[in-house]
Structure 1
Amino acid sequence: MKFNLIPLSLFLAVFIAAGLNSCKDIIEPSLKDRSITPEAPANGYNSANYNVNFWWDEVDDALKYRLQVVSPKFDSVGTLVLDTVVKTNKFTINLNPGEYQWRVRAENGSSQTVYSTPKSFRILYSSIKQQQVKLGSPGNGLLTNQAGVAFQWGDVYGATKYHLQIDTNSFSDENTLVYNQVIPGQQFNFSFPKDQTYQWRVRAENDTAQALWSTISQITYDHTPPPKVVLSLPAKGQTVNSPVTLQWNSALTAAKYKLYVFKADSVTAYNATFPVLLSNTSYVFTPTSNPGGTIYWKVSGIDAAGNEGPTSDIRSFVLQ
C-alpha cells in the first residue's frame, strides 16, 4: 500500500496559519500603527448644500469610528459641532453656513488609530429651496407594537417651521393623507390609528420659501398578537420516556415561541430555564431532577413586533 506523505514544511505552515487565525479570534488586533483615509468632504470643499455627507475608507479590524467636526478649525476651536461614534464609514448631518474642519479615527475595543489630518470645508449661504431635512427617528423600516411614536428630524438653517406628512400609500394622493400639518418644532408625537405600514416625510419652510421634501422613511405598526397555539405531542396524560420531545403546531404570524414547563403542581416553573424562547415548534425536554412524575407545559406565540399571543391549553404528561 502506497502512502502520500505531507511535507513537514507544508504541515507546519498550515498549523501556524491555523494558530494565527485562532489567536486573532482571541486577541483583538491593535489599530495603533494603522492610518485612516478621509474621502469627503475634501479639503477646501465649498457647498451651498447644508446637508453634508462625510465619508472615509474602512479600516480592517475596526469596530467603530469617531467623527469630530469643529468650527472654524481644530487649532482655533470656536465650537465643537459634532463628536460622535458611528458603526459605518459614512455619516450625514445638516450644518449651518460657516467654516468647518473635520477628522476621524478608527477604534475597536482596545485601541484606535490616530486622527486623520483635519480637512477644511465651507458651507455657503443659500436659499432654503435647495435644502433638505435629515430625518432622525424612528429609523427607516422600524417594526413596533407601540401605538405612540415620536417623529424627530434635524433643523435646517433659515427654516421657521416644518411640514410633516404621514401616509399609508407613499403620498400618491395628498388629499387623503393620514396626517398633513405644519408644526413649529422638530418633533411630533403621533398615535397610529390602526395596524398598518406608514410612510413619513418632512419639509422645512419659512414665510417666503419651501425646501425640498426629505427622503421617505417607513414604519410598521402591529399590535395584533398571534393566535392561540395548539399543542401536538405528547398527548394529554400520556406516559413517556425521558427525554421527551414536546411539539406544537405553528401559529400564524408567530416568529418565535415561549415554552412554559411546570412541576407537578402546574404553577411552579420546572427550573430557572423556563420559560424558554424558541424559534421552532419543538423542544427536547430532559428532566434535571426527580425524573419520574407528572409534568405540565404550555406554549405561546410571539410575533416579530413583540406581541405575545394567548398560551395554549395547559397539558400534562407522565415521565416513567
Structure 2
Amino acid sequence: MKKINRVSLIAIALILFSCDDVLEKDITNDMVELISPINYEEIESNVVTFKWNSLTDSDKYRIQIFKTDKTKILDSLITKTSLTYPLPHGEYQWRIRGENFAYQSSYSLQADFSVIESTDLSNQQIILKSPADNFYTKNSTITCNWAVLTMADYYEFELLNVTNGETIVFQETNITNPTFIINNTNLSAEAKYKWKIKGVNGTSETPFSTSTFSVDRTNPNQPSNTLPIQNATFTINQTINFSWSILADVGAIQSPITYTIEFANDVNFTTIIQKNDVSTATFDKAFTTIGSYYWRVKATDLAGNISVYSTAFKFIVK
C-alpha cells in the first residue's frame, strides 16, 4: 500500500473542512468591550449612538437592544463598530458580540441606559420614513414622511436639485404635520433631488436630516437581441445562452435597468410559455421539447419606465 504523503493529508483536510473554518480564529472566549452608552447613562436625545471597541479576528457584530422588560427592540448583524438608532423616551439595555465565519464571541456585559425627552433639539434628529434614500420615480408628485419629533413646534423643509451642483428649488416653513407633498411644479424637471427637514422650537433646532430621490420619465431604449442569432439551431436539452444589448437613454437620469425575457411558440407571442426577470443582459436556458421558439426582451427601469420589446428572434430545438 502506498503511503499517503503529507500533501495528500492536507488536501484531504481541506476537503473535509472549509477553508474558512480552518483559517478563522476561535473567538469563543473573547468579549467585545462597550464604549457607549455605558451602564446607567442618561441620553437626552431621540437617537442613541452605540459604540464599541473592535474585536480582533471578528469581521461583524451582533447588537441587541431590549426594553427593561426584556422585549427585544433590535437584533442586527453589522460590520461597523458603531450604530445610530432612534429610540423613544424609556429605559433600555444593550449588549453585543463579535462574529466571524466560524465562531462567535461571548456577549459583552449588558449595559442599562435611559433615553430622556429634552426641549433642546440640537442633539436630536428627524427620522425620515419615505421616500427611501436613492429612490427612483416617474411620478409628478412625491409625499415625504418623517417621524414626529415630540419637542419640535414645527418643521422646515427644503428641496434641492443636485443633478449638477446644488440649487434650491423650494422652501417651506411652519409645517406642523410630519408629512409634505412635493407637487408637479417643483418636480417638473428630470433630476436628482435632495430633500431636507429639520425640527424647530422656541429655543433650538435640529440639524437637517436629508435624503435623495431621482425623477426619471424617459423610457429605456429598445433592447437588441444578440445571441442566439435568427434561426439558430440547437439540440434538445442543450443549454442556450441568450444575450442582448441596449443603449443608455438620453434623459438627465439613467435609472438602473432590469430585463424581462419572454419565450413563445409563435412570433406574435399569443401564448407566452415562459418569462424571467433578470438583472443582467444575459440568460441561460435549456429546452426539453423539440420545436420552433421565439424570444424577445423588454427593459424596465427603477422609476417604472418600460421600453419597447426587442425584435423577436426565432430558434429551433431538434
Residue from 263, 269, 272 that aligns with 1:269? 272
Q: Is the 8 A contact 1:135 1:214 kept in 2?
A: no
Between the aligned partners of 1:276 and 1:93, the Cα distance in structure 2 is 35
Q: Which residue of 2 aligns with 1:153?
A: 146
The answer for the alignment partner of 1:144 in structure 2 is: 136
Secondary structure (helix, strand or coil) at the match of 1:158 reads coil
Query: Which among 210, 213, 233 is matched to residue 216 of structure 1?
Result: 210
Alignment of 1:104-253 (within 5 A): 104-106=95-97, 116-120=109-113, 123=116, 125=118, 127-128=120-121, 130-138=122-130, 141-145=133-137, 147=139, 149-169=142-162, 176-190=168-182, 193-194=187-188, 195-206=190-201, 208-232=202-226, 238=231, 240-242=233-235, 246-253=242-249
**Distance across 1 between alignment mates of 2:76 and 2:194:** 25
Structure 1 partner of 2:49: 53
1:103 aligns with 2:99: no
Distance 1:223 1:116, change over 3 A: farther
Matched, 1:16 2:13: yes
Query: Cα RMSD between the aligned structures?
Result: 4.4
Q: Please give the alpha-carbon distance, in whole angstroms, between the structure 1 residues aligned to 2:210 and 2:89.
A: 25
**Per-residue deviation, 1:114:** 5.3
CA offsets per residue over residues 118-173 of structure 1, 9 Å max, x none?
A: 24467585633x23423322376423236354433344453121112222149956
Q: Could you tell me which residue of structure 1 aligns to residue 252 of structure 2?
A: none
Partners of 1:163 and 1:41 lie apart in 2 by 30
Match of 2:74 in 1: 84
- Tell me if structure 2 keeps the 8 A contact 1:144–1:305: yes
SS at match of 2:129: coil
Separation of aligned partners in 2, 1:228 and 1:319: 27
Q: Provide the C-alpha distance between the structure 2 equivalents of 1:13 and 1:234, rounded to a whole number of angstroms.
A: 45
Are residues 116 and 134 of structure 1, via their aligned partners in 2, closer, same or farther at CA, if it must alter by over 3 Å?
A: farther
Across the two proteins, how many residue pairs are aligned to each other? 291
Looking at structure 2, the residues matched to 296 and 97 of structure 1 have their Cα atoms a distance apart, in angstroms, of 62
Distance apart, 1:204 and its partner CA: 1.1
Amino acid at match of 2:311: D
Aligned 8 A contact 2:217 2:303 in 1: yes
C-alpha separation in 2, matches of 1:13 and 1:314: 54
Structure 2 residues not aligned, in runs of 5+ = 250-255
> Does the residue aligned with 1:131 lie in a helix, a strand or coil?
coil
CA contact (8 A) 2:86 2:127 kept: no
Residue 298 to residue 95, structure 1, CA distance change in 2 (3 Å): closer
Relative distance call for 1:19 and 1:34 in structure 2 (3 A) is farther
Post-superposition Cα deviations, 1:181-236, rounded to whole Å, max 9, x if no partner, equal 43213233445624321111211112x23403324322223343312223345565
The offset of 1:36, in angstroms, is 4.4
Correspondences of 1:296-311 after superposition (within 5 Å): 296-305=294-303, 307-311=305-309
Measured at CA, do residues 245 and 50 of structure 1 come closer, stay the same or move farther in structure 2, by a change above 3 Å? closer
Aligned-partner Cα distance in 1 for 2:283–2:48:
52
Q: TM-score, normalised by structure 1?
A: 0.68
Q: What SS is found at the alignment partner of 1:12?
A: helix
Contact 1:131–1:156 (8 Å) recurs in 2: no
Structure 1 contact 65–107 (Cα < 8 Å) conserved:
no
Post-superposition shift, 1:262?
0.7
Cα shift at 1:61: 8.0
Deviation at 1:301, TM superposition (A): 1.6
Compute the displacement of 1:287 (Å).
Answer: 2.7
Q: Is the 8 A contact 1:298 1:311 kept in 2?
A: yes
- CA offsets per residue over residues 97-127 of structure 1, 9 Å max, x none? 88x443124599xx99657322446758563
The alpha-carbon deviation at position 96 of structure 1 amounts to 7.0
Alpha-carbon distance, 1:298 to partner: 1.2
